[in-house]
Amino acid sequence: MQREKHGFSDRGHRGGSHKCHHKKKKHHRFSDMIARRGPRIERGETRYLILDSLRDKGRHGYGIMDSIEEKTGGMYRPSPGTVYPALQALENLELIAPSDADNRKTYELTTKGRRELESQRELLEDFYEDMNQASSYEYEEDEFFEDIQALVAGMFKSISRAFRSGRLGADEANKIRRIIQEAAQKVDEILKQ
């Protein structure tokens, strides 16, 4: 016979002995909720990143993605769904030309493409500078978010243990709720300054 706590069996199913046949909910980790994001990539910028990746040599689609990821310090890697339509558009504009090398379609800059790339040098320099600034904050952000995650996870673990052991009654739960609400309000006040 299973022992029940707060209406849940030791197995975690409400009411005890029945099996749970529904799909499990996907649980998101706290780190996913506060994940760091790189600078936003504007629609037209990808085209110039592609042209820039072809500056020194021809590349195939995945080579272009690798080059962009490398030049941005891993902060941005365009998807195939972004790169391949952009390659077709650049080809239609005669900014790049395809060729078959080793049974793979590769792309090279045309003279017109080099002129277009040169005309956007400042945009690219600004873009790469933004990426470098974003990656320089990466270490400090990682450390900060790891600390916050550890504090919050530790708190939730303590509350969960107390709940499962029956040490968390309605009065204690209300006190904890008020403390967390006050903390959230204080954080909001700090962020609004």
Residue 65 confidence (pLDDT) above 60: yes
Question: Does residue 145 contact residue 34 with C-beta atoms inside 8 Å?
Answer: yes
CA distance 97 to 113: 9
How far apart CA 124 and CA 118 sit, in angstroms, is 10
Beta carbons of 72 and 116 less than 8 angstroms apart: no
In the chain, the domains with their CATH numbers are: 43-137 (1.10.10.10)
Question: Which two tokens mark 142?
Answer: 């990682």
> Which residue type, as a one-letter code, is found at position 15?
G
Burial class of residue 183 (count of CB atoms within 10 Å of its CB; 0-12, 13-18, 19+): exposed
pLDDT tens profile 81-138: 999 999 999 999 999 999 987 788 999 999 999 999 999 988 888 888 877 776 665 5
- Beta strand 104-109 with 96-101: parallel, antiparallel or unpaired? antiparallel
